[in-house]
Amino acid sequence: MDEVEREERVAAGFAAGDEACMEAVHRRWRPLVHSLARRALGDEREAEDVTQQVFLAAWRGRGGYRPGPGGLGAWLTGITRHKVADALDARTRRARVADAARRFGPRPGPQPEPEQVVERVVVLGELARLPSAQQRVLSLAFYGDLTQTQIAERTGMPLGTVKSHMRRALHVLRRSLRTFPPQAIR
């Protein structure tokens, strides 16, 4: 049996749910998947996580595998691209939350109660998900104690835009914070 036939047989066994074939697929394609992830992410630990996610997703989605040009390697490469994109998105979200925490960080004075810390983390996380213009308007309003007119003057935005950003941001926050248990947000 030549190499092409062997790979086709392994791919068919993998798609059928044969664990031995999954092991062979992992052994054969793990170096490529890991290399692509490491190159794209620049972080060994994240690359390991993505590699595991790729093979888990491949195993779970093996019923959707259809042999085609490039075979199983091309299919796994596609999954890798999606998982790398997800990891980069998660990295961006973490950076936004960290940035929001720095900008809206703790104030000097007595330390807050644990419940207040949880509330603050939840609200900061939701704030970090807002577009930057809406974040800025809310920050100036609540932390800068500025009116909407003052925000418009300071930022150079039209007053109507400031009002729209404020309204949309508060609507999004209200809607997203409704999903948390009442004890998490007071």
- The domain ranges of the chain are 3-94, 104-177
Q: What is the mean pLDDT of the chain?
A: 83
CATH topology of domain 104-177: Arc Repressor Mutant, subunit A (1.10.10)
User: How high is the pLDDT of residue 84?
Assistant: 95
**pLDDT band at residue 185 using 50, 70 and 90 as cut-offs:** very low
State how far Cα 82 lies from the chain centre: 12
User: How high is the pLDDT of residue 179?
Assistant: 62
Residue 62 is given by DSSP the state: G
The string of pLDDT tens digits covering residues 53-100 is 999 999 888 888 887 777 888 899 999 999 999 999 888 877 777 776
Residue 106, Cβ density class (10 Å: 0-12 exposed, 13-18 middle, ≥19 buried): exposed
Q: How far apart are CA 160 and CA 145, in angstroms?
A: 19
- Class level of CATH domain 3-94: mainly alpha
Q: How far apart are CA 102 and CA 134, in angstroms?
A: 17
Is the pLDDT score of 172 beyond 90? no
Segment 174-178 shows an average pLDDT of: 77
